[in-house]
Amino acid sequence: MDYNELLNHLQVVGKDPSRLIFEDELTGLYNRRYMESHVGTLVEQAAARGKPLTVLVMDIDYFKSINDTYGHDAGDDVLREFAIRIRKSIRGIDLACRYGGEEFVVVMPETDLAVATMVAERLRRRIASETFPIQQGAHGIEVTISIGIAALSRDDTAASVIKRADQALYRAKRDGRNRVVPDAA
């Protein structure tokens, strides 16, 4: 099947080819490839307009033990439900992506650190307070997340602000998990 035949086939079965390239199949969120191709533009726009931009890097705590205890299908259930809860907690202009494995990124244009911290804390509480349905709803398990946050600074690039949020995430994990930690910079 050549490229044009593939595109034709995808359109016939109702699949948007760009979604296959830029969407995480399991969660329906954007994938890392999409994030990396768009976050630079968001950073440039924020800098040019003098507007804030904040990045959240999130990780599901003890995700490996979920897979080990309940199986990979249950882990997939948790990832799907987590993506749903992220979508319900952010605005349409925010960019939510699965960064890899059980790690997720949300880029929040026109959002300062204080507001992003409130959003992150609300999401963290929502995750911890409601069990996650697994095995087609037959069981529910408790899940917590850790979140690192960084606000765009004058000298930041897309990569550096994500790296600072990721470093804050690792501090959250080191300090006991199930917490939100803003970058100190």
The CATH number linked to 95 is 3.30.70.270
Alpha-carbon distance of 164 to 169, in angstroms, equals: 9
Q: Which amino acids are annotated catalytic?
A: 102
pLDDT digits (tens, 9 = 90+) for 27-83: 999 999 999 999 999 999 999 999 999 999 999 999 999 999 999 999 999 999 999
Please indicate, yes or no, if residue 59 is contained in any of the structural domains: yes
Q: Rounded to an integer, what is the distance from CA 93 to the centroid of its chain?
A: 14
- Does 13 map to a domain? no
Domains: count for the chain: 1
| 56 in any annotated domain | yes
What is the rounded CA–CA span in Å between residue 84 and residue 99?
A: 15
Within a domain: residue 133? yes
Q: Which of 76, 63, 111, 75 is nearest to 90 (CA)?
A: 111
Global pTM reads: 0.89
> Domain of 27?
22-182
3-state secondary structure of 85: helix
